[in-house]
């Protein structure tokens, strides 16, 4: 094994991070001025890292494909951010947050990393408030919390349904302060095309200016990849249209191991697909499960009548509804973790109880919450014996204050009023737990190449709990990476500026150009989207919410064939040396066509069900996931060896010293 | 959405299941230095459930299959929050619907046989890059001039609950902070003024105790940058507020003027 050294510090769990910070080498402030760091991606992880690195004194260059760093897709995160502040006095602690996250991840994440995450979570909230993030507050002026899936405490901080936006604007503001000081050079509408290695170390990137088409060389003493997840391999996902795996995959091809690619989160509450024209899916925040009750009709004939438009959900009597999450998981009810909720929805719809015209939707119903809040509000407003209409009116106002923007978004997309009729939802690809393998310092297997946020694999195991992605992104960016990277950079204080006229840069640029020319030479008739949609169908049908060995074997073969077809035939108009959105998409889809195959290979090799990875062959009689800790309690880190199917497996055994492995139960 | 405290039930009728034929007049421009022109396209089979951008996707699919260059437009999250999409649709930023971005505008708002004029946001400070894509980096420079609180990201700040903040103020700060920086306010304004955008950013910080410390410098620096970028003046017509997809209120402009005036007096 050897190559995979996770570098977890010794000592008791709760002391590891402090001890590590005391032990690692530092770079003195005068020397930091001579060190350049490249940060690719400017979401929560990249933006926070860039701001902090610049503040520490490093010279930072940031790159994003968007026209502004603040448009990175972290902005779309809705529900909230977890922190073990225990402001609600409900017994929360760092340990509980750590434990919930490990359990939520179905015991496939690293103890030390997750504990560190819980440990710094409180600082994140302090930091964000100091930056002017307008979190929701109670009337007494204190911060408000809500609860999220998979936990029994209220530890989620939020800013309406736009928490990601507010946190990203906070990180961007911190970046702006450094841009204004000249410590960050922000390159927007730029895409990283390849990683440049000099003597085995990451020393720069080749980037394309998306406006002019120009190919640029940028050097640095280290490269941080904070480029998000690869959910768009499914074509339809809640990711932004431009979200892609290119930077991570380019690094993988240059030697960075890719860990657990099959660990993908299918989020239970998204707006269902409406037709073939669909370009992306929209999430309805998990926070809605605090107040919404999920159900399908109990009787098949009612489900059929609803699908045919002959029956309205509001006409169905209480006893004819199957609140299947409350039925199957009484302890957690509608707040079970995402993987459990998604599979339960699929189970009901596969059994024929789905509700919209496609049969792939379940209800998320706010009627009882509206009544409950309405009664409470009437009481506190001093209204005696309120009538039904008053209660509903007051209740709707409370719901609007909590989730107004989400309800509005739903209404605009679906054209139904969710205050009056239950929302329809269905699971959709949302987040990828897998990603570049990193050690405790967030360094990949390429020296000098770091990865932060969703782009790395580290903290969420096989399933991520709600409101934890924002926490991890900011923890990595603000509080972990800027310190751990110093340990590596301390060797570079005498290196001097990395020249970009070296052979390594020449060669990398040449390869980038050749790849684009090859893409442009396709002779067929189909567009990039045609191939992307085809890939998405294979992924959704064979590597989606439930997988089996036969389907996965087919997927590997079909993706390889599709990739060959793509490279020979894809049709891209325009030129290389000008703005060309089709060429941009083609480069991204080309990498998805490789990643998809590795994804299927990883899913095929993992003969167990855990978290978001559900193999039909491995389930209990009740249809719950059947984990195999004896044989699969490890991180699967894949080394690139040419074709994705030839990737070589390296295992990082997961050691649980502080937590006893249990069968996850939310009953 | 609640209107006067009541759920808004208008627009429940849909064109969902009828396909439409549309006549599109789209601004095409090769790059910043080339002249542009309106080009006519006819598109059939458009469904009400499609978003406006999905309608353009289909047009582009057709263009690519014919070997023509597709119409380039800015877009990313397609759920109304990143602020990347733009477009002047029949003269209105983000089209005829209210409180939505172009990506959330659905074709059910149009009728079979409609002619739709699609242009980029027009403002001196937003030069065209290609087709419907404009350069909005002026907004970034305004924020860089002072749209932040000078606090180190070390995490060693006071506890988040150490300074209670009045809920009303926090909510108002949040309302200002929901600005997605799309530029519709500028595109809607006859003077191409960026007052609504800048004032939303100024307001968010002005309303919070953490932001008060640098309030004087912030408003002066941001307004100075706004003027340098070539945005026009505000004449209080309120078009910006009407077209803003996030409902940012004109109150913010009043607040910024007040902040600016008092900063000048301190000054």
Residue pLDDT, tens place only, B159-171: 999 999 999 999 9
Beta bridge partners of A82: A156
Residue B10: the pLDDT is 41
Banded pLDDT at A421 (limits 50, 70, 90)? very high
Q: What is the pLDDT of residues A335-375, one digit of tens each?
A: 999 999 999 999 999 999 999 888 999 999 999 999 999 99
Are B11 and A415 within 8 A, CB to CB? yes
pLDDT, residue B14, reads: 44
Per the CB < 8 Å rule, is A240 touching B77?
yes
Contact residues, chain A, for B74 at CB < 8 Å? 67
- Tell me, yes or no, if B189 comes closer than 8 A to chain A by beta carbon: no
Q: pLDDT for A470-479, tens place per residue?
A: 999 999 999 9
Cα diameter, chain B: 64
Residue B1 has pLDDT above 80, yes or no: no
Closest alpha carbon within chain A to B212: A132
Q: Which residue of A has its CA nearest to B6?
A: A393
pLDDT at residue B28 greater than cutoff 90: yes
- Joined together, the tokens standing for residue A92 give 């929360």
> Model confidence over A5-60: pLDDT tens digits?
999 999 999 999 999 999 999 999 999 999 999 999 999 999 999 999 999 999 99
What would the pLDDT profile of A134-144 be if each residue is shown by its tens digit? Answer: 999 999 999 99
Average pLDDT over residues A642-646: 94
Q: Which residues does residue B115 pair with via DSSP β-bridges, in sequence order?
A: B23
Give me the residue label for tokens 């978003």.
Answer: B51
Residue of A nearest to B83 (CA): A71
Non-local CB neighbours of A173 within 8 Å, separated by 6+ positions: A131, A132, B143, B147, B148, B149
Across the interface, which of B82, B145, B164 has its CB nearest the CB of A240?
A: B82
Rg (C-alpha) for chain A, rounded Å, is: 25
Q: Which residues of A6-27 are buried (b: 16+ CB within 10 A; e: fewer)?
A: bebbeeebeebbeebbeebeeb
pLDDT of residue A531: 98
For residue A151, report the phi and psi dihedrals to the nearest 5 degrees: -135, 165
A409 forms beta bridges with none
> CA B186 to CA B197: how far, in whole Å?
8
Q: Write out pLDDT tens, residues A530-562.
A: 999 999 999 999 999 999 999 999 999 999 999
Whether residue B13 has pLDDT greater than 80:
no
Q: How many CA atoms lie within 13 A of B48 on its CB side?
A: 16
Residues of chain B neighbouring A125 (CB-CB closer than 8 A) = 160
Q: Does the distance separating the beta carbons of A400 and B155 come in below 8 Å? A: no
Disruptive mutation site among B16, B129, B153 for chain A (greatest number of A CBs within 10 Å): B153
Statement: residue B15 has pLDDT above 60: no
Among A247, A304, A297, A236, residue whose Cα is nearest residue A270: A236
DSSP character at residue A170: H
Q: How confident is the model at residue B11 (pLDDT cuts 50, 70, 90)?
A: very low
pLDDT band for position B267 (cuts 50, 70, 90): low
The predicted model gives B123-137 an average pLDDT of 98
Tens of pLDDT, residues A46-98: 999 999 999 999 999 999 999 999 999 999 998 899 999 999 999 999 999 99
Which residue out of B31, B101, B142, B160 would a mutagenesis test of the A interface target, given it has the greatest number of A Cβ atoms within 10 Å? B160
Question: Is residue B78 within 8 angstroms of chain A, CB to CB?
Answer: yes
Residue A148, pLDDT score: 83
**What number of residues does chain A have?**
667
| Length reported for chain B | 267
pLDDT of residue A285: 87
Question: Which chain B residue is nearest to residue A577, measuring alpha carbons?
Answer: B31
Question: CA B236 → CA A149, B184, B195, B248, distances in Å?
Answer: 46, 16, 10, 14
Contacts of A183 (CB under 8 A, 6+ apart): A54, A55, A57, A58, A59, A60
Query: 3-state class of A180 per DSSP?
Result: helix
A147-156, B117-126, B240-249 — which is least confidently predicted? Answer: A147-156
Q: What confidence category does residue B6 fall into, taking pLDDT thresholds of 50, 70 and 90? A: very low
Model pLDDT for residues A190-221, shown as the tens digit of each residue: 999 999 999 999 999 999 999 999 999 999 99
The number of beta carbons lying within 10 Å of the beta carbon of residue A403 is: 26
SS3 A656: coil
pLDDT band of A664, cuts 50, 70, 90:
confident
Cα(A168)–Cα(A172) distance, rounded to whole angstroms? 6
Ranges A264-273, A644-653, B9-18: which has the least confidence: B9-18
Residue B4, pLDDT score = 43
Partner residue facing B2 (CB), from A124, A143, A396: A396
CA angle A629, A635, A641 (to 5 degrees): 135
Give percent helix, percent strand, percent coil of chain A, each to the nearest 5.
45, 15, 40
Name chain B contacts of A139, Cβ cutoff 8 Å.
167
Please give the share of chain A, as a percent, with pLDDT higher than 90.
93
Which of B63, B192, B227, B160 shows the shortest CA–CA distance to A127?
Answer: B160
Taking the C-alpha atoms of A313, A314, A319 and A324 in order, what is their torsion angle to the nearest 10 degrees? 50
- Measured at the CA of B193, the angle between CA B189 and CA B197, to 5 degrees, comes to 100
Q: What is the mean pLDDT of chain B?
A: 93
Q: b/e for B99-138, b at 16 or more Cβ within 10 A?
A: bbbbbbbbbbbbeeeeebebbbbebebbebbbbbbbbbbb
Which tokens hold the place of A184? Answer: 């960050």
The tokens for A551 are 């389907």
Cα of B12 to nearest chain A Cα, Å: 6
Residues of B in contact with A408 (CB under 8 A): 1, 99
pLDDT of residue B17: 58
Q: Which pLDDT score is estimated for B12?
A: 40
Residues 88-107 of B with CB under 8 A from A: 97, 99-100, 104, 106
Q: Are strands A293-297 and A321-322 parallel, antiparallel or unpaired?
A: antiparallel
Statement: residue A4 has pLDDT above 70: yes
Backbone dihedral angles phi then psi of residue A368, each to the nearest 5 degrees: -75, -30
What's the rounded mean pLDDT across residues A179-183? Answer: 97
B3 confidence band (pLDDT: 50, 70, 90): very low
Q: How far apart are the first and last CA of chain B?
A: 43
Q: Nearest Cα to A638, choosing from A244, A195, A252, A263? A: A252
pLDDT above 50 for A2? no
Residue A617 to residue A620: CA distance in whole angstroms: 9
Closest chain A residue to the Cα of B79, Cα to Cα: A282
**How far does Cα A617 stand from its chain's mean position?**
27
Q: Is B161 on the interface with A (CB under 8 A)?
A: yes
Q: What is the mean pLDDT of residues A175-198?
A: 98
Query: What's the mean pLDDT when you consider all of chain A?
Result: 96
At residue B39, the 3 state secondary structure works out as strand
The predicted-structure confidence for A376-403, as pLDDT tens digits, reads as follows 999 999 998 999 999 999 999 999 988 8
Residue A264, both tokens: 């993908």
Checking if the pLDDT of A147 tops 80, the result is yes
- Tens-digit pLDDT profile for residues A501-519: 999 999 999 999 999 999 9
How far apart (Å, rounded) are the C-alpha atoms in residues A361 and A271?
8
Span A565-574, average pLDDT: 97
Which residues lie below 8 Å from residue A193, measured CB to CB, with a gap of 6+? A205, A206, A207, A208, A215, A246, A250, A512, A515, A587
pLDDT value for B124: 95
Report the percent of chain A where pLDDT is more than 70: 100
Q: What pLDDT score does A286 carry?
A: 86
Judge whether B9 is closer than 8 Å to chain A, CB to CB.
yes
Q: Is B129 on the interface with A (CB under 8 A)?
A: yes
- Give chain A positions within 8 Å (CB) of B138: none
Is the pLDDT reported for residue B2 higher than 70? no
Span B182-213, pLDDT tens digits: 999 999 999 999 999 999 999 999 999 999 99
Region for residue B161 given its phi and psi (left: phi exceeds 0; alpha: psi -120 to 50; beta: otherwise): alpha
Chain A CB within 8 Å of residue B177 CB: yes
Alpha-helical segments (H) within B66-181: 137-144, 167-177
- Quickly count: other Cβ atoms within 10 Å of residue B266's Cβ: 9
């Amino acid at each position: 094994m050897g190559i995979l050294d996770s570098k977890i510090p010794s000592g008791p769990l709760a002391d590891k991070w402090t001890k590590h910070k005391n032990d690692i080498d530092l770079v003195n402030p005068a020397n930091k001025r001579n060190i350049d760091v490249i940060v690719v991606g400017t979401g929560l992880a990249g933006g926070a890292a860039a701001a902090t690195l610049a503040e520490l004194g490093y010279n930072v260059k940031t790159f994003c494909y968007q026209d502004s760093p603040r448009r990175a897709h972290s902005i779309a995160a809705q529900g909230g951010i977890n922190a073990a502040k225990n402001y609600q006095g409900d017994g929360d602690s760092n340990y509980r947050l750590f434990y919930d996250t490990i359990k939520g991840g179905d015991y496939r994440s690293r103890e030390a990393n997750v504990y560190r995450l819980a440990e710094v979570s409180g600082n994140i909230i302090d930091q964000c408030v100091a930056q002017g993030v307008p979190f929701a507050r109670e009337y007494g002026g204190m911060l408000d919390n809500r609860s999220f899936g998979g936990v029994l405490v209220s530890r989620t901080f939020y800013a309406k349904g736009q928490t990601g936006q507010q946190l990203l604007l906070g990180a961007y503001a911190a970046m702006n302060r450094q841009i204004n000081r000249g410590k960050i050079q922000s390159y927007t509408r730029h895409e990283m095309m390849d990683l440049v290695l000099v003597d085995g170390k990451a020393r720069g990137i080749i980037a394309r200016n998306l406006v002019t088409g120009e190919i640029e060389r940028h050097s640095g003493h280290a490269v941080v990849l904070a480029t998000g997840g690869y959910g768009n391999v499914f074509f339809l996902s809640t990711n932004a249209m431009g979200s892609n795996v290119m930077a991570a995959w380019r690094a993988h091809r240059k030697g960075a191991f890719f860990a657990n690619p099959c660990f993908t989160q299918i989020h239970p509450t998204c707006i269902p697909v409406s037709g073939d024209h669909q370009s992306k899916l929209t999430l309805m925040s998990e926070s809605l499960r605090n107040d919404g009750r999920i159900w399908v009709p109990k009787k098949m004939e009612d489900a059929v009548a609803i699908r045919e438009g002959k029956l309205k959900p509001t006409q169905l009597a209480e006893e004819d509804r199957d609140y299947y999450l409350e039925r199957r998981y009484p302890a957690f009810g509608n707040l079970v973790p995402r993987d459990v909720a998604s599979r339960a929805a699929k189970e009901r719809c596969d059994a024929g109880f789905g509700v919209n015209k496609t049969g792939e939707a379940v209800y998320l119903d706010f009627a009882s919450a509206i009544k409950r809040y309405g009664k409470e509000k009437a009481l506190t407003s001093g209204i005696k014996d309120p009538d039904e209409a008053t209660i509903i009116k007051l209740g709707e106002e409370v719901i609007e204050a909590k989730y107004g923007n989400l309800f509005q978004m739903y209404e605009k997309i679906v054209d139904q009023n969710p205050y009056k009729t239950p929302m329809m939802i269905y699971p959709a690809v949302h987040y990828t737990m897998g990603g570049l393998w990193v050690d405790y310092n967030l360094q990949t297997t390429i020296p000098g190449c770091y990865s932060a946020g969703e782009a790395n694999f580290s903290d969420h195991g096989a399933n991520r709990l709600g409101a934890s992605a924002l926490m991890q992104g900011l923890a990595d960016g603000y509080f972990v990476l800027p310190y751990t990277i110093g340990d590596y950079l301390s060797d570079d204080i005498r290196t001097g500026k990395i020249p970009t006229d070296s052979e390594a840069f020449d060669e990398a640029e040449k390869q980038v150009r050749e790849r684009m020319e090859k893409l442009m030479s396709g002779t067929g008739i189909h567009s990039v989207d045609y191939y992307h949609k085809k890939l998405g169908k294979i992924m959704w049908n064979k590597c989606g919410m439930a997988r089996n060995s036969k389907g996965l074997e087919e997927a590997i073969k079909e993706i390889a064939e599709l990739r060959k077809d793509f490279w020979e035939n894809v049709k891209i108009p325009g030129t290389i040396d000008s703005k060309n959105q089709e060429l941009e998409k083609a480069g991204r889809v080309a990498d998805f066509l490789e990643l998809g195959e590795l994804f299927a290979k990883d899913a095929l090799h993992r003969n167990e069900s855990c978290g978001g990875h559900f193999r039909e062959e491995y389930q209990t009689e009740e249809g719950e996931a059947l984990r195999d800790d004896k044989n699969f309690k490890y991180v699967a880190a894949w080394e690139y060896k040419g074709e994705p199917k030839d990737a070589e497996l390296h295992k990082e055994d997961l050691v649980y010293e502080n937590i006893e492995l249990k069968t996850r139960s939310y009953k | 959405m609640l209107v006067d405290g009541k759920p808004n039930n208008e627009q429940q009728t849909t064109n969902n299941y009828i396909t439409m034929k549309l006549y599109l007049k789209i601004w095409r421009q090769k790059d910043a230095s080339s002249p542009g022109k309106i080009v006519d396209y006819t598109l059939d089979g458009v469904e009400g459930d499609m978003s406006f951008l999905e309608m353009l996707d289909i047009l582009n699919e057709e263009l690519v299959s014919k070997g023509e260059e597709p119409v380039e437009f800015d877009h990313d999250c397609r759920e109304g929050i990143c602020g990347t999409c733009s477009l002047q649709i029949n003269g209105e930023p983000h089209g005829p619907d209210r409180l939505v971005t172009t990506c959330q505008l659905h074709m059910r708002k149009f009728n079979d046989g409609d002619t739709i004029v699609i242009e980029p946001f027009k403002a001196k400070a937003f030069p065209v890059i290609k087709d419907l894509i404009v350069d909005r980096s002026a907004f970034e420079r305004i924020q860089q001039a002072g749209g932040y609180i000078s606090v180190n990201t070390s995490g060693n700040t006071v506890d988040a609950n150490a300074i209670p903040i009045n809920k009303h103020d926090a909510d108002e700060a949040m309302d200002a902070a929901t600005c997605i920086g799309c530029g519709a306010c500028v595109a809607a304004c006859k003077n191409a003024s960026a007052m609504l955008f800048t004032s939303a950013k100024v307001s968010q910080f002005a309303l919070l105790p953490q932001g008060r410390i640098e309030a004087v410098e912030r408003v002066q620096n941001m307004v100075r940058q706004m003027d340098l970028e070539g945005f026009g003046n505000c004449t209080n017509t309120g078009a910006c507020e009407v077209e803003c997809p996030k409902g940012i209120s004109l109150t913010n402009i009043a607040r910024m003027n007040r902040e600016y005036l008092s900063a000048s007096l301190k000054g």
